[in-house]
Structure 1
Amino acid sequence: MTGGRQRARRGRSHLRRRPGHAVLAALLVVAAASGCAAEAGDTGTGQGAKLQAGQPGAPADAPAAGALGTRAAQAERAKLAQAARAVAAKKWGLASTPLAPPAPPAVKPHITTRKGFEVEGQDDSLPPVFTTVPTKDKVVFLTMDDGDDKDPELLKMMSELNIPYSAFLSDYLVRDNYTYFKDAEARGVTLNNHTLNHRYMPGLSYEEQKREICDQQDIIEKQFGKRPRLFRPPYGNYNTDTLKIAKSCGITAVPLWAEEAFPDHMEWREEDLDLHPGDIILTHFRGKKDWKGSMPDLIRSVMKTVTDKGYAVARLEDYV
């Protein structure tokens, strides 16, 4: 049985700017909050980049070396980082300040394929297909697909707000500007597999699927230095061959989505039309040429829903 069956819809307002001194104040607060974190190198997230406060994937309350490693100092750093996030939220026109996620779990949760999403011959050897990560933390995960719209304002916005997100890339949309995604990766974004050409997997032969999935693995590794662990099939459609091939070239999990975000609304998989701990939110790298809004507009909209419901955005790869 295949996963989600809906196709994502395609569809920039002027960004509210704060006076220069407010922006400078935010940067100073971030610098104070980061302290020794810049020297910590890999934070255990699997990224080689040195993540600092204000970058996705760098938890606001992550332990630091020396004096900042004390509990009181960590609490002060978290307070300062959240103050910086509040300033950034005003700068970028968010309705309220995003909540800070808890520290990542010491042990990642055990994930299994969601009931009803199994394939013929399903067993535990295949990568699990899921829409929600099992956790009691009041967190959700933001994911962006394809890679068409490459808005530099998105990179600035997410870094200043310190909101983590995961990218699932299709090479035919990314190859014209790998540099944009190298910048995103340097800011803490994990780059995952969404096939070469965004084709409907169950309609392809085994060899065609292998080219779409495994060749994209090779390209991402060559261009960005790391082979993905996560794969999302286009449109959420897959079959047994899809999962076997994905496993054969290094994929360990297949996250789909529980909600899909647009600049003007949210679409829900569950009948209660609500968020749940561990839900994965899908959206796309798309702008005004595809929908009524820019990437920053999209973030303003989805973060209002997330924050109003009392959730924080956490980093998917910290849990999967």
Structure 2
Amino acid sequence: MQKDQLFTRRRMLFAGAAALGTAGSAGSLLAACTEESAQTAAAPAPGPQARQALKSSAFRLQPLTGDGPPRAAPHKLKVRREPILQISGRGRHMMLTFDDGPNPDYTPHILDTLAKYGVRAMFFLCGECVVDNRELVARMAEEGHVVGNHTWTHPLLTTLSRKQIRSEMVRTSDIIEDTYGERPQWFRAPYGAWNRATFQLEAELGMEPMAWTVDTTDWMTPGTGTIVDRVEKGAAPGVVVLSHDAGGDRSQTVHAIREWLPHLIDSGYHLTVPSRRV
């Protein structure tokens, strides 16, 4: 758990710096997402009737484009100026994402819940966590989840040199390919902090930058009920939900998903992942 506690301390230190490190207009878009989370947290918890009809989000940000993990030999992609924050498509589709894992104490429970309801999700993995939990990554592949790159040590990339950023990405993609069977096509910067070098390098390595629309802030351990309310209030077509399956005590996340996932499904939402290239 020492490593998880370190993740939490890092996140507390760098949360404010993340928005400053994001390149171009992506910084303002991510700030808008953070603002929405803060407003949601301040709102009173909804009663049973309020949960019957989930309100649409005010955010209609840049839609997600592209497919899933690339072929064994990734090709260079267009360099973006901002990360993707929303998925495209018609209907009540949403996407669930989990960062910082895998973790043997929490990831299996989340996978069990997803399997119970036949839902696939995206997991952004840290290479150093994959080393001791390869069986969980293999399970993700077997159950149809999409795996992304979340660097090797979860650093604040805006403080690193170009060479260091590339090493964090390449080492993680290598171990994911060795374990998952494919190199990741998706990358999420720790703390949501992108810069020009990060966008350039991930494009060179065949990865698209994926951010989020709704932040559960589960890393702050705000309580199971608060996490549930943030997901349900933020639910809307195209939304990408950010949660964590490692980086600290994630028992609240484990309990919360058991409540909000069946509610989203009962409300008519379809939980999806990017399709894979063939």
TM-score range for the pair, normalised by the shorter chain length: 0.5 to 0.7
Q: 1:218 to 1:314 in 2, by over 3 A?
A: same
Q: Which position in structure 1 is the counterpart of 2:90?
A: 136
Structure with bigger gyration radius: 1
Query: How much is the aligned-residue C-alpha RMSD, in angstroms?
Result: 3.1
Deviation at 1:259, TM superposition (A): 0.8
Alignment pair present for 1:233 and 2:233? no
2:156 to 192, 200, 207: 200
> Partners of 1:192 and 1:267 in 2: how far apart?
24
Q: Match of 1:157, SS?
A: helix
Q: Match of 1:173, SS?
A: helix
Could you list the runs of 5+ residues in structure 2 that have no partner in the other structure? 1-20, 35-50, 52-62, 67-76, 219-223
Q: Match of 1:176, SS?
A: coil
> Partners of 1:221 and 1:164 in 2: how far apart?
19
Q: Deviations over 1:3-24 (max 9, x none)?
A: 4477xxxxxxxxxxxxxxxxxx
> Partners of 1:279 and 1:160 in 2: how far apart?
22
2:201 to 242, 245, 249: 245
Deviation at 1:316, TM superposition (A): 3.4
Q: Which position in structure 2 is the counterpart of 1:290?
A: 249
Q: Deviations over 1:183-229 (max 9, x none)?
A: 12111112110001110111111101110112211221122220111
> Partners of 2:267 and 2:196 in 1: how far apart?
37
- Cα contact 2:244–2:250 (8 A) shared by 1: no
State percent identity of aligned pairs: 25
Q: Which position in structure 2 is the counterpart of 1:21?
A: none
Deviation at 1:181, TM superposition (A): 1.4
Alignment pair present for 1:264 and 2:187? no
Q: Match of 2:187, SS?
A: coil
Asked which structure has the greater RCO (Cα within 8 Å, sep 6+), the reply is 2
- Cα contact 1:202–1:239 (8 A) shared by 2: yes
Q: Which position in structure 1 is the counterpart of 2:101?
A: 147
Which letter maps to 1:206? Answer: R
> Partners of 1:281 and 1:312 in 2: how far apart?
13
- The two structures have a TM-score, normalised by structure 1, of 0.55
- The two structures have a TM-score, normalised by structure 2, of 0.63
Q: Which position in structure 1 is the counterpart of 2:78?
A: 125
Q: Which position in structure 2 is the counterpart of 1:35?
A: none
> Partners of 2:275 and 2:126 in 1: how far apart?
19
Q: Which position in structure 1 is the counterpart of 2:70?
A: none
Q: 1:129 to 1:183 in 2, by over 3 A?
A: same
Q: 1:187 to 1:307 in 2, by over 3 A?
A: closer
Query: 1:20-169 residue pairs with structure 2 within 5 A?
Result: 111=65, 125-127=78-80, 129-150=83-104, 151=106, 152-169=108-125
> Partners of 2:258 and 2:134 in 1: how far apart?
26
Which letter maps to 2:160? Answer: L
Q: Which position in structure 2 is the counterpart of 1:311?
A: 269
> Partners of 2:215 and 2:260 in 1: how far apart?
9
The structure in which a higher percent of residues are helix is 2
Q: Match of 1:125, SS?
A: coil
